[in-house]
């Protein structure tokens, strides 16, 4: 039986209160080294436990539920309940070009009315990439080494220029990325976005548990905590005051994206228009899976509601199923670009322990042994817990799914080499710039030349056309090249 919650405010809890509370939840070991701590160590641990205390019961329950649900939904159970996504197709795939044009117009109006906020999640630890700084600082520019943050800032400045109004940019960091992200923004004058329009805030952390359900002590005076996943962004928007800031500014629609995809079309007006037209509370962008084995979650309908189904959750019958045109039936790969209404975010965040369940993943987590020695295990010794933003989909009364192409909108920097690496992402950017130049009537440089476009000036073929340059020599600073002899 958990000990009854004390009526004291967390900051007034004494060490005895905490001993009772944590002990009552099978977590008394967090104070195992208390007697040997110096004053600073005691202060640190006390502060952490006071912070964790209000959520203690929920955290322990969340751990138990995460473990029980840890096995992926069984493909055979899911099979009778799953149908393909109903997505708005691209005009070239049978979509309605007139509807797309109307959606674009509507989205432009939303932007001009200041109803849209841009929300970047940048709290991840970027383990696979192995870059020793926040991923947003990663140099992605093919010519200038411009960082992912700077590239995104250029896109945001481009929208401000087009709509003639300030455009708020909310950036979620974590303990792992906060200090360096703030330094990068300060050192670069927020990459040209007015400081008043940039809000940086931290997501919450969550304790990790060993396989017996005990919180892991990382050092004698600290419980190990990790960022609580991109799904933690929805509660952090509320607790940080960012959502209240949106209310003050008249923002009712949030464009959510991830830090590592330089092709993201920030606040795409057509997407915004479709979201509004469908009265959706949350929307998803998807790309056509070509290879049935691609490891992306697909948007599908489960029991009549849109949801993301992990590729491991599909049976081969669904995974390989093809329609009369030989296209995959479960084709809609999610690219983690969402629109969410602010009222919807508030609703989901208010019931987060139910609506955004924690997912466990077994990891090697540094710990302190009974003798107080710090250890780094060679094998997984516990679970990190994370929330996923797409779990919110099943909470939405209406969802809008919009098709795009990976070529134009998705090439993330996830790995150090191979698929989804900096090389593949830079190549995708280069190819996109060449397509834009060609479609806009400008000369395309030779293959041995690197091209870089300043998105604050040119953000698509239409901008190339209206700028009116035919050769890159006439393009000024908006297009930079390096290497080769071409100009
Ligand atoms: P990923 O799941 O790709 O994780 O995050 P990651 O941290 O970038 O990389 P790995 O898995 O450790 O190699 C997708 C997006 O979600 C953000 C990331 O910053 C990225 O933009 N994210 C992830 C958070 O903001 N917080 C988290 O706790 C986890």
> Does 259 contact ligand 1 (Cβ within 6 A)?
yes
Calculate the CA 112 to chain-centre distance. 25
- Has residue 406 got a pLDDT over 80? yes
Which pLDDT tens digit goes with each residue over 221-241?
999 999 999 999 999 999 999
Q: Where exactly are the structural domains of the chain?
A: 10-70, 82-420, 432-487
> Does 171 contact ligand 1 (Cβ within 6 A)?
no
Considering only residues 209 and 91, tell me which one the structure prediction assigns the higher pLDDT.
209
Residue 250: pLDDT band with limits 50, 70, 90 = very high
Closest ligand 1 atom to Cα of 257: 21
C-alpha span between 218 and 360 (Å, rounded): 18
> Does 157 contact ligand 1 (Cβ within 6 A)?
no
Residue 34 sits at φ, ψ, to 5 deg, of -50, -45
Query: Three-state SS for 218?
Result: strand
Beta-strand runs (E) in 242-312: 253-258, 282-288, 298-302, 305-309
Can you tell me the mean pLDDT for 122-134?
95
Matching residue, tokens 């905490």: 18
Beta-strand runs (E) in 6-147: 82-84, 87-88, 116-121
DSSP 215: B
Can you tell me the mean pLDDT for 267-294?
96
> CA separation (Å) from 168 to 14, 300, 334, 420, 459?
42, 32, 25, 29, 19
Which pLDDT tens digit goes with each residue over 323-367?
998 999 999 999 999 999 999 999 999 999 999 999 999 999 999
Can you tell me the mean pLDDT for 260-274?
98
Q: Whose CA is nearest to atom 25 of ligand 1?
A: 123
Can you tell me the mean pLDDT for 409-436?
96
Give me the pLDDT at residue 457, please: 94
Q: Whose CA is nearest to atom 17 of ligand 1?
A: 124
> Which stretch of DSSP H or E encloses residue 450?
strand 450-453
Per-residue tokens: 15: 């060490």
Cα 121 to middle of ligand 1, angstroms: 8
For the chain, percent of residues with pLDDT exceeding 70: 95
CATH code, residues 82-420? 3.90.550.10
Give me the pLDDT at residue 485, please: 47
Considering only residues 102 and 359, tell me which one the structure prediction assigns the higher pLDDT.
102
Residue 412 near residue 261 (C-beta atoms within 8 A): yes
> Does 154 contact ligand 1 (Cβ within 6 A)?
no
Residue 384: pLDDT band with limits 50, 70, 90 = very high
Can you tell me the mean pLDDT for 130-134?
96
The average confidence (pLDDT) of the chain is 93
Cα 231 to middle of ligand 1, angstroms: 10
A 10 A CB-CB count for 418 gives 9
DSSP 223: E
Which pLDDT tens digit goes with each residue over 74-100?
666 666 689 999 999 998 888 999 999
C-alpha span between 321 and 190 (Å, rounded): 48
Query: Three-state SS for 209?
Result: strand
- Has residue 284 got a pLDDT over 50? yes
> HSE-up of 266 (CA within 13 Å, CB side)?
29
């Amino acid at each position: 039986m958990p000990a009854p919650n004390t009526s004291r405010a967390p900051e007034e809890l004494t060490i005895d209160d905490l001993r009772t509370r944590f002990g009552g939840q099978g977590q008394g070991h967090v104070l195992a080294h208390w007697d040997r701590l110096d004053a600073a160590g005691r202060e640190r641990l006390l502060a952490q436990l006071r912070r964790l205390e209000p959520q203690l019961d929920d955290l322990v329950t969340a751990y138990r539920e995460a473990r029980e649900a840890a096995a992926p939904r069984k493909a055979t159970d899911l099979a009778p309940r799953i149908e393909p996504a109903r997505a708005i197709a691209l005009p070239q795939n049978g979509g309605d070009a007139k509807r797309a044009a109307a959606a674009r117009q509507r989205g432009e109006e939303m932007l001009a009315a200041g109803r849209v906020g841009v929300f970047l999640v940048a709290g991840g630890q970027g383990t696979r990439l192995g870059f020793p700084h926040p991923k947003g600082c990663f140099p992605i520019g093919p010519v200038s080494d411009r960082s992912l943050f700077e590239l995104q800032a250029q896109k945001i400045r481009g929208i401000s220029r087009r709509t003639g109004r300030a455009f708020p940019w909310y950036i979620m960091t974590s303990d792992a990325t906060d200090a360096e992200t703030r330094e990068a923004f300060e050192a670069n004058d927020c990459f040209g976005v007015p400081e008043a329009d940039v809000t940086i805030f931290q997501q919450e952390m969550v304790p990790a548990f060993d396989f017996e359900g005990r919180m892991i002590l990382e050092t004698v005076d600290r419980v190990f905590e990790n960022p609580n996943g991109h799904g933690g962004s929805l509660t952090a928007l509320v607790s940080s005051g960012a959502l209240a800031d949106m209310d003050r500014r008249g923002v009712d629609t949030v464009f959510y994206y991830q830090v590592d995809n330089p092709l993201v079309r920030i606040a795409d007006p057509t997407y915004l228009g479709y979201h509004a037209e469908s009265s959706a509370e949350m929307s998803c962008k998807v790309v056509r899976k070509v290879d049935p084995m691609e490891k992306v979650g697909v948007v599908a309908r489960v029991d009549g509601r849109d949801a993301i189904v992990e590729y491991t959750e599909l049976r081969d019958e669904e995974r390989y199923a093809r329609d009369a045109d030989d296209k995959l039936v479960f084709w809609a790969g999610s690219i983690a670009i969402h629109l969410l209404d602010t009222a919807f975010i508030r609703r989901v965040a208010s019931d987060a322990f139910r609506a955004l369940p924690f997912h466990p993943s077994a990891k090697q987590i540094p710990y302190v042994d009974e003798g107080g020695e710090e250890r780094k295990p060679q094998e997984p010794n516990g679970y990190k817990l994370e929330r996923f933003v797409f779990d919110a989909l099943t909470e939405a009364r209406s969802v809008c799914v919009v098709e795009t192409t990976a070529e134009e909108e998705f090439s993330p920097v996830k790995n150090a080499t191979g698929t989804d690496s900096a090389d593949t992402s830079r190549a995708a950017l280069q190819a996109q710039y060449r397509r834009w130049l060609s479609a806009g009537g400008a000369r395309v440089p030779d293959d041995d030349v690197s091209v870089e476009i300043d998105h604050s000036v040119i953000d698509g073929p239409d901008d190339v056309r209206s700028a009116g340059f035919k050769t890159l020599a006439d393009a000024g600073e908006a297009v930079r090249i390096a290497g080769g002899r071409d100009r």
